[in-house]
């Protein structure tokens, strides 16, 4: 599930193996399971009803109305957090001697009116808006989802580091030229280093098939209704591809400048791609992505003579969001600027190789010391 837009209830498919199904039961409960297709199988789904679950509507003095659910399961003490239309919040706790548990979710509108009457729904603690859900609840859901994702991402990164693999997560809006640039990068590097690619799209294996024409292994992940890849998906792809030690692992994320910003995949760097056919203010409109990235590729620069795009302004806007951003101006069509981009990748590969070599040397030294100790007995 996406912490920004709540998407992700669709089916995730990873080429050639296991995928996940999400099921919604009549009582509203949701669960997900994964399975492979190496054998015939039958599975059923039994939904579990929540005992005593019901909802109450409430109308406040200002005319706003909300609904919250009550679940009756046993004696307890609990805390209610209330968020009011003016943005103020308070909490109170109380006991229930009648053996009932109540869960309250007060979902008021949380927005501010900007100059000129514009609405800004990104001012609350969650920096987003979901109808019928409070800011506090949204923050809790985001924390829970990202904490679980980060567990997978940290495991992925440790797996890469143990093998000296350099992993990059390429992110952009649709149509930035990401796949074309990726193909060109692969063609220029594949004779120097082993490369594996993960492709993320909602549907089709078109991009993975394009990558395979370059001669390197590629695995397609279809996210269904999901708008981004996550650490769990990439972990499955890593195990399927089994990249070589000291290789390059490239992840092309779903075309989206919002949701992928929040999800660590275990990569060493996020690389944001902005094309000159977009707008110079794109980094200001979508700051989370450019703040999360370490590198920005300003792509399709061969078209600059034919456009009114101000490349200097685009770079300045990106650095307003992220002063530490490394920026390369490139063109996959003409090849301009690619040498600097490739040099940066090769420096990252060398750093990972050095780390891997040091780990191997330390392990060999430890083995030699243990053998010496055994021989001395």
Instruction: Give the residues across from 12 on adjacent strands.
Output: 20
CB 321 within 8 A of CB 353: no
In this predicted structure, the answer to whether residue 269 has a pLDDT above a threshold of 60 is yes
> Residue range 324-350: average pLDDT?
97
**What is the structure's pLDDT at 335?**
96
Which residue did the predictor score with more confidence, 294 or 368? Answer: 294
Among 60-69, 234-243, 269-278, name the one with the lowest average pLDDT.
Answer: 60-69
CB 92, CB 79: distance < 8 Å: yes
Q: Which two tokens stand for residue 237?
A: 């792809």
Helix (H, G, I), strand (E, B) or coil at 99: coil
What pLDDT, on the 0 to 100 scale, is given for residue 204? Answer: 94
Domain boundary assignment for the chain: 154-355
pLDDT of residue 110: 53
Predicted confidence (pLDDT) per residue in 61-106, tens digit: 455 545 444 444 444 444 444 444 444 444 444 444 444 444 444 4
Q: Which residue has the higher pLDDT, 18 or 202?
A: 202
Task: Report if pTM > 0.75.
Answer: no
Question: What's the whole-number mean pLDDT along residues 133-159?
Answer: 83
Sorted by sequence, the CB contacts under 8 Å of residue 47 that are 6+ apart come out as 25, 26, 27, 29
Nearest to 22 by CA among 314, 238, 225: 225
Nearby residues of 52 by Cβ (< 8 Å), 6 or more positions away: 70, 71, 72, 73, 100
Question: What is the model's pLDDT at position 296?
Answer: 98
Q: What's the rounded mean pLDDT across residues 350-365? A: 87
Residues of the chain above pLDDT 70, percent: 68
Report the range of poorest mean pLDDT among 112-121, 180-189, 350-359: 112-121
CATH topology of domain 154-355: Rossmann fold (3.40.50)
What does the DSSP assignment read for 261-275? GG---S-SEEEEEEE
pLDDT of residue 121: 65
For residue 356, the model assigns a pLDDT of: 87
Going by pLDDT thresholds of 50, 70 and 90, the confidence category of residue 114 is: low
Could you tell me which residues are beta bridge partners of residue 167?
249
Q: For 213-236, what is each residue's pLDDT tens digit?
A: 999 999 999 999 888 899 999 999
- Residue 368, pLDDT above cutoff 70: yes
Q: β-strands 195-201, 248-252: how paired?
A: parallel
> Is it the case that residue 363 has pLDDT exceeding 60?
yes
């Amino acid at each position: 599930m996406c912490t920004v837009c709540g998407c992700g209830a669709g089916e995730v498919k990873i080429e050639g193996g296991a995928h996940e199904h999400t099921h919604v039961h009549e009582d509203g409960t949701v669960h997900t399971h994964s399975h492979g297709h190496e054998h015939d199988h039958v599975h059923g789904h039994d939904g579990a009803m929540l005992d005593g679950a019901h909802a109450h509507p409430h109308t406040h003095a200002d005319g706003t109305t909300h609904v919250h659910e009550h679940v009756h399961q046993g004696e307890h003490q609990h805390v209610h957090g209330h968020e009011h239309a003016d943005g103020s919040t308070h909490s109170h706790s109380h006991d229930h001697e009648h053996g009932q548990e109540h869960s309250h979710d007060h979902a008021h509108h949380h927005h501010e009116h900007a100059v000129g009457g514009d609405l800004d729904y990104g001012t609350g603690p969650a920096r987003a808006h979901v109808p019928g859900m409070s800011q506090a609840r949204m923050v809790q859901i985001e924390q829970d989802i990202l904490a679980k994702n980060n567990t997978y991402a940290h495991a992925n990164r440790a797996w890469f580091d143990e093998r000296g693999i350099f992993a990059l997560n390429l992110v952009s809006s649709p149509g930035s030229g990401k796949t074309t640039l990726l193909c060109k990068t692969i063609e220029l590097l594949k004779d120097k280093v082993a490369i594996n690619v993960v492709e993320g799209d909602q549907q089709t294996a078109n991009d993975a098939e394009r990558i395979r024409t370059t001669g390197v292994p590629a695995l397609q992940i279809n996210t269904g209704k999901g708008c981004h890849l996550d650490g769990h998906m990439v972990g499955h792809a890593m195990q399927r591809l089994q990249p070589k030690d000291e290789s390059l692992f490239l992840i092309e994320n779903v075309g989206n400048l919002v949701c992928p910003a929040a999800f660590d995949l275990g990569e060493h760097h996020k690389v944001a791609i902005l094309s000159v056919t977009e707008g110079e203010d794109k980094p200001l409109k979508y700051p989370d992505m450019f703040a999360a990235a370490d590198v920005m590729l300003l792509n399709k620069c061969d078209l600059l003579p034919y456009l009114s795009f101000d490349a200097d302004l685009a770079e300045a806007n990106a650095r307003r969001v992220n002063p530490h951003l490394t920026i390369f101006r490139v063109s996959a069509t003409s090849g301009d600027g690619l040498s600097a981009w490739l040099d940066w990748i090769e420096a990252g590969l060398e750093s990972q190789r050095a780390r891997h070599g040091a780990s191997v040397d330390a392990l060999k030294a430890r083995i030699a010391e243990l053998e010496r100790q055994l021989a001395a007995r």
